[in-house]
Amino acid sequence: MESISKISLVAMISIVTAILYIIMSDIDELARPSLDKTLSLCDLSGFPYFYGIASFMFEGNAVQLDIYG
């Protein structure tokens, strides 16, 4: 477990950095909205990307529960 802790720390720092980047870019977009974007009612082009992220998060939580549970 001690050898995994250093890798886990790097992973947690990466996740926090990614979350902060997303929050800062959202705040920037809200402060200066770009008007050239068009919105559509239903756009499924990003569904495979969402499915990959959701699967990754589900698998990561299952591994974490197995290690610490």
Residue 26 lies in domain: 2-33+42-68
What is the pLDDT at residue 44?
79
Question: Sign of torsion, CA 36 40 44 48?
Answer: positive
Count how many domains the chain has.
1
3-state helix/strand/coil string of the chain:
CHHHHHHHHHHHHHHHHHHHHHHHHHHHHHHCCCCCCCCCCCCCCCHHHHHHHHHHHHHHHHHHHHHHC
Of 47, 30, 16, 12, the residue nearest 4 (C-alpha): 12
Per-residue pLDDT of the chain in tens (69 residues, 90 and over written 9): 777 888 888 889 999 999 999 999 989 888 887 766 666 677 778 888 888 787 777 765 555 555 554
